[in-house]
Chains A and B, each alone.
Chain A
Amino acid sequence: MTATATSPATTTEQAPEQPPAPVGKRRRHRLGPGEIASRAGIQVLLWVYAAYTLAPLLLMVSDSLRTQPDMVKDPLGLPLEPRWENYVEAWVTGSFGVYIWNSIYITVASVLLSTVCSLLAAYAFARARHPFFKWLEAVFMSGLMMPVYLAILPIFFMFDAWRLISNPIGLILVYAALGIPFSTFVLGTFFRQLPEELEEAARIDGARPLRMFWSVMLPLVRPAIATVVVFRFVPVWNDFFFPMILMRDKATYTIPRGVTQFFGEFQSDFPLIFAGLTIATIPLIILFLVATKQIVAGLTAGMGK
């Protein structure tokens, strides 16, 4: 209360000396009772929606630790005696060990490949003057709006001819190509913000383009690389459309492809299904917790385009 009363006086006094600081202060101090009530009301709504967001995920984990009869009796109950065996059973009968390894291998390789290719291309887009590069960049950018999965039939025939069906290399190449529009877009924006004087200095020292790119530019775009890598990781890890069609051999299934198989086989064993779904989700929750910043940056990157 006292703060509210004194704040107009202090702001008028301080305003000429240091204008930016009092603005924030004044805003915080001016909260009247009505404002406080509406803020409290809004906070309640925000918590309610947060509960709605988290409840299904928490329920998935909770039910994965229960027994079938217990679940049918009380669907909202808690796992008072957690059954960790469900996870062992899901892991073994669902071959999740195989799928997780395939997912890691395919995701890491494809994200690496697409990031390296996109880095090189984005650098050229930012620095090459010839109009051809402007045109090529526009072609890449249009890829952001293309429903590429509709090209699956020709890809299937191509892979059939090249013996890439049920071959991780094929999936890696497709995912790498799919990542190029977004990755060149984010990296290109970043390269353009770097002053050209950097390269001029290096050029005077006799550095060739590739060397300059490697030792001068790359270290400076590290934050953008992190964004691209983390953000591309998610859709590649989660995709099941391409594996469903291109991976015919169970030994080459990725996690989402394996989950469809698993769900079909154990449809009536709910705790086991929940355990399988949780196994498929845990790697991404971990990724999210360590790299929230990059995920948020990736999601908001679409604003610039």
Chain B
Amino acid sequence: MNTAKRKSSRSTGAGLGFGAGMLFVLPAAALFAVFILVPLVTAAGYSFFNWAGLHNEGFAGLDNYVTLFTKPPYRDQVWPALGHNLLLFIGAMLFQNTLGLAIATFLHRFDRLRRFFQTIYTMPYLVSPLVIGYLWSLMLSPLFGPVNNLLKQIGLGEFAHPWLGDPNTAIWMVALITAWQWLGFPILLYGAAIAGIPQELGEAASIDGATPAKRFWHITFPLLAPAIGTVSILTFIGAMESFPIPFAIGGSKGDPAYSTDVLSLLFYRTGFAADNGGHIGVASAIATLLFLFIFGVAVVARRMLDRVERRLT
């Protein structure tokens, strides 16, 4: 049987036979199935059962979902948390991706310095987001924080502020800190995309008298559409999954006053935090909805982007 398969694959040329191929994919498929696919499906299953502590107490239908949206504390926390996730997405698009695109465009004009600056800008990506959250929480500390101190030293003392202690500014600080960490990513992606744009286009336009700004808006920007789409999708996934930086800044309760709470924190609190732990059903309902939201939006956006890309080429 095995030899027959191998023989047939040999006769078809370079391809790999079905049997041999199966052996090659087996280890990866097993890992992926056991530790990713099965737990994901099981998590969705959990959301339809009653749980008392760690014990499954029978089928519950949609009860957990109803609880999530109608009973405190969940119903009061789920919408603000989602709002904060969306705010982090908007913040990332504003601070991180626009600035990233601007810097990538600037860097394209330099040859030798480009690599140097790219390296520096990418460095924070390497540092654990948790460490970055702690580091910035100390930087922004109202007592001895270097940020407020710097503001005072350059004569802007009235702007000194308990940045993380004020519920109005805390979530924006999370967005800025995230942007600080991730800026290298859009710079590199856009840099690669800009490098792929044929030089002649820009040169032809500048001969026709187009200013650099016009050249950017009418030539570079449209040709970057696929890259912008890719970056936006990845940014969306990142903002929705946000966890370590908010956790380092505001703990598992999104301090101050739940102002840095996000859905992943709500999920973690509901499933694991000791004081109200054991709500496995509700936690699984959050996980299921959040999964469908992130994965659904990402897949649909990806499809649309592929279609646009095909029309462009």
Where the two chains meet, the residues of A that have a C-beta atom closer than 8 Å to any C-beta of B are 23, 38-39, 42-43, 45-46, 49-50, 52-54, 56-57, 59-60, 71-72, 75-76, 113-114, 116-118, 120-121, 123-125, 127-130, 132-133, 136, 139-140, 142-143, 145-155, 157-158, 173-174, 176-178, 180-181, 184, 196-197, 199-200, 203, 208-210, 213, 234, 237-238, 240-241, 245, 255-256, 259-260, 263, 270, 273-274, 277, 280-281, 284-285, 287-288, 292, 295-296, 299-300, 302-303, 305
CB distance from B174 to the nearest CB of A (A): 15
Residue B313 at the A interface, CB < 8 A?
no
CA distance A280 to B34 in the complex (A): 31
Residue B291 at the A interface, CB < 8 A?
yes
Whether A177 touches B127, Cβ cut-off 8 Å, given contacts A45-B106, A150-B43, A151-B36, is no
List, in ascending order, chain B residues with CB within 8 A of A209's CB: 6, 16-17, 20, 24
Whether A53 touches B124, Cβ cut-off 8 Å, given contacts A71-B144, A292-B119, is yes
Q: Are B230 and A303 in contact, with the CB atoms below 8 A? A: yes
Q: Are A72 and B134 in contact, with the CB atoms below 8 A? A: no
Whether A50 touches B39, Cβ cut-off 8 Å, given contacts A209-B16, A240-B128, A299-B122, is no
Residue B310 at the A interface, CB < 8 A?
no
Residue B276 at the A interface, CB < 8 A?
no
Interface string of B24-68 (1 = CB under 8 A from A): 110111011011111110110010000000100000000000000
CB distance from B125 to the nearest CB of A (A): 7
Cross-chain contact of A127 among B15, B237, B264 (Cβ < 8 A): B15
CA distance A49 to B179 in the complex (A): 12
A–B Cβ pairs within 8 angstroms, 19 of them: A38-B212, A39-B109, A53-B180, A56-B136, A57-B124, A127-B15, A128-B24, A139-B32, A145-B233, A150-B40, A154-B38, A154-B42, A234-B126, A238-B131, A260-B248, A273-B138, A288-B123, A292-B119, A296-B122
Interface string of B285-297 (1 = CB under 8 A from A): 0011011001100
Whether A259 touches B134, Cβ cut-off 8 Å, given contacts A50-B117, A128-B21, is yes
Find the B residue at minimum CB distance from A55: B146
Q: Are A256 and B145 in contact, with the CB atoms below 8 A? A: no
Q: Are B131 and A303 in contact, with the CB atoms below 8 A? A: no
CB distance from A84 to the nearest CB of B (A): 20
Residue B302 at the A interface, CB < 8 A?
yes
List, in ascending order, chain A residues with CB within 8 A of B13's CB: 196, 200
List, in ascending order, chain B residues with CB within 8 A of A120's CB: 24-25, 27-28
List, in ascending order, chain B residues with CB within 8 A of A208's CB: 6
Within 8 A of A (CB), among B190-214: 192-193, 199, 212
Majority-rule SS of A interface residues: helix
List, in ascending order, chain A residues with CB within 8 A of B221's CB: none
List, in ascending order, chain A residues with CB within 8 A of B144's CB: 71-72, 75, 270
Closest 3 pairs (CB-CB, A-B): A128-B21, A196-B14, A151-B39
Among the stretches B76-84, B161-169, B238-246, the one at the interface with A is B238-246
List, in ascending order, chain B residues with CB within 8 A of A113's CB: 31
Residue B175 at the A interface, CB < 8 A?
no
CA distance A229 to B175 in the complex (A): 30
Where the two chains meet, the residues of B that have a C-beta atom closer than 8 Å to any C-beta of A are 6, 10, 12-18, 20-22, 24-25, 27-29, 31-32, 34-40, 42-43, 46, 54, 103, 106-107, 109-110, 113, 117-131, 134-136, 138-139, 143-146, 149-150, 153, 180, 183-185, 188-189, 192-193, 199, 212, 227, 230, 233-234, 237, 240-241, 243-244, 248, 264, 267, 271-272, 280, 283-284, 287-288, 290-291, 294-295, 298-299, 302
Q: Are A143 and B32 in contact, with the CB atoms below 8 A? A: yes
Q: Are A57 and B127 in contact, with the CB atoms below 8 A? A: yes
CB distance from A129 to the nearest CB of B (A): 4
CB distance from B107 to the nearest CB of A (A): 7
CB distance from B81 to the nearest CB of A (A): 14
Q: Are A245 and B272 in contact, with the CB atoms below 8 A? A: yes
List, in ascending order, chain B residues with CB within 8 A of A154's CB: 38-40, 42-43, 46
User: Which interface residue of A127, A158, A203, A208 has the most chain B CB atoms within 10 A?
Assistant: A127
Cross-chain contact of A180 among B28, B42, B146 (Cβ < 8 A): B28
CB distance from A22 to the nearest CB of B (A): 12
Q: Are B302 and A145 in contact, with the CB atoms below 8 A? A: yes
CA distance A240 to B113 in the complex (A): 35
Q: Are B126 and A117 in contact, with the CB atoms below 8 A? A: no
Cross-chain contact of A285 among B113, B126, B183, B243 (Cβ < 8 A): B126
Q: Are A174 and B184 in contact, with the CB atoms below 8 A? A: no
CA distance A148 to B183 in the complex (A): 24
CA distance A234 to B181 in the complex (A): 14
Q: Are A155 and B35 in contact, with the CB atoms below 8 A? A: yes
List, in ascending order, chain B residues with CB within 8 A of A71's CB: 144
